[in-house]
Amino acid sequence: MRNVVLLLSLAIATFPQVPGEFTPAGKLLFPRSGHTATLLLDGRVFFAGGDCPDTSSCRSSSEIYNPLTSNSIASGPLKVPRKDHSAILHSDGRVLLIGDGTAELFDAETGRSTLLDWEVPKRTRAKALRLADGHIALACGNDRFADILNPESGATQRIAPLLGRYPACESAALLPDSSILFVSENKALMRLNPNDSSFQSIGSSYIDYWDNLMGRSATTLPIGKVVVAGGVGDGYPTWSAAPLYELLEPDSMTSESKLLSASRAYHADCLSPDGLLLSGGTSGIFPIPMETVLGTPSARSANLIQLDGSISIRSLTMLRPRLRHTCTLLNDGSVLLAGGESSGEMERYVPINHWPELHIAAALPVAAGKALELYVTGPLPDSKIMPHVWVGGRPTTLLYSSPNQINVLVPEALLDSAETSVVFRYMERGSNTVSVRLQ
């Protein structure tokens, strides 16, 4: 794994920061929508593909945004034009892009992308979820199946079909035990255990007055509960978006619900130190011009839902209306909103509260195949969201986790290494990289 220096800052150099509000954050090179945004190990953000209002050229383009300068620079072209694809950070720091039956690895340091000879599922708008063992679950995406992908070899394992015809892709959430919660059509709740490829029907959603909800979000809070929000119901030709969210307890399947400040579908969701941020989206009246959609109150509004799961929300107004945009939690705890409108202007939510920097203070020398002890700062107390640790660029098996210590099993493949690198990620933010001796 490359040695990297994390770019950590509590302020943007060129724009004033007002806690609890949105502030300008620079401009994309292309006004993208349906793109992906991936936080790199050095704290920058990699944007790839998507649609543009006047050209399709952005589908093959990429750019890298620096939060410290608020500037975005062009990076190399993609091997395959992409929109509504999936992106996830690979263990070696490159970005894995998957969609429409192809996969490629993009290296932000060189600006080059490598097309992979993988037989990946032909999906669009699939949700990529990183499991505890480093494998990637590809959920939904015009397909009734789920697939487990080995990001090192490209091998995939197809899982038994989901209940219902086309489960809503946005309504898949990774639970603390690495099982996956799906909220499917007709309100069915299903739980996938990737270890034995089994599905379990575990009840019904509270939202019972719209069927076939699409454009929803599902997010796991640090307390382990899941927020399912918004979505468009099947009432063609005038579809109505759900103006509420639901808080699910996956173990007991109890739930609570509350109205949002606006109806939402195809919005963006992102955890922040102040709460779960739900931003933008449409009120779901189709078919109407995009300009009309962006003119609705939903497209310019945002809600914050408290991280402790209490039924309490705060309403915010964004600088610009957005739809099919991205929401990225940066290393300093602020949230970057990008795309989903016609100008390319970005904005940043500056939190009132702050999370500590993710930091490895010490890593004890260890023998390959044995437990590696990391002494860390940054993970939230009582959080059920597990960190991911890479040793020598390889994912590890988590043995123990607390806010101050993480124990993982060192991969046997590193047995002959004298020294190797260690880094961990928590809630998609990255830590510093340290070297550890293998005995």
Q: What is the CATH number of the domain that holds 323?
A: 2.120.10.80
pLDDT greater at residue 49 or residue 392: 49
Please report the pLDDT score of residue 55 as a whole number: 67
- End-of-domain residue from the set 280, 314, 349: 349
428 and 288 housed in the same domain: no
Give backbone dihedrals phi and psi of 297, rounded to 5 degrees, phi first: -60, -35
Dist CA 436 CA 363 (whole Å):
6
Average model confidence (pLDDT) across the chain? 80
pLDDT confidence tier of residue 276, bands split at 50, 70 and 90: very high
With contact defined as beta carbons under 8 Å apart, do 75 and 64 qualify? yes
Dist CA 432 CA 273 (whole Å):
20
pLDDT, one tens digit per residue, over 100-119 is 888 999 998 899 999 999 88
Tokens representing 55?
A: 């050209």
For range 372-381, the mean pLDDT:
92
225 and 79 housed in the same domain: yes
Tokens representing 190?
A: 């299903």
Domain range for 313 is 22-349
Dist CA 45 CA 302 (whole Å):
22
Q: What is the pTM of this model?
A: 0.88
363 and 345 housed in the same domain: no
Share of the chain above pLDDT 70, in %: 79
Tokens representing 377?
A: 């700062």
Cβ-based neighbour number of residue 57 at 10 Å: 11
Residue 271 reports pLDDT greater than 90: yes
Question: What secondary structure letter does DSSP report for 438?
Answer: B
Dist CA 331 CA 430 (whole Å):
7
pLDDT, one tens digit per residue, over 245-255 is 777 787 776 77
The label of the residue with tokens 């694809």 reads 85
For range 71-80, the mean pLDDT:
93
With contact defined as beta carbons under 8 Å apart, do 278 and 264 qualify? yes
- Residue 2 inside a domain? The answer is no
Dist CA 421 CA 91 (whole Å):
12
Half-sphere exposure of residue 87: CA atoms within 13 angstroms, side-chain side: 27
Dist CA 42 CA 148 (whole Å):
28
- Residue 7 inside a domain? The answer is no
- Chain-centre distance for alpha carbon 250: 20
Q: Residue 26 is which amino acid?
A: G
Cα diameter, the chain: 66
* Bridge partners, residue 36, by sequence: 48
249 and 378 housed in the same domain: no
- End-of-domain residue from the set 321, 349, 377: 349
pLDDT, one tens digit per residue, over 159-195 is 766 655 554 445 788 888 888 887 765 566 778 787 7
Per the structure, the count of domains in the chain is 2
- End-of-domain residue from the set 290, 322, 349: 349
264 and 402 housed in the same domain: no
Residue 311 reports pLDDT greater than 70: no
pLDDT greater at residue 186 or residue 136: 136
Q: What element of type H or E holds 190?
A: strand 188-193
pLDDT greater at residue 133 or residue 244: 133
345 and 303 housed in the same domain: yes
**Ramachandran quadrant class, 77 (left: phi over 0; alpha: psi -120 to 50; beta: rest):** beta
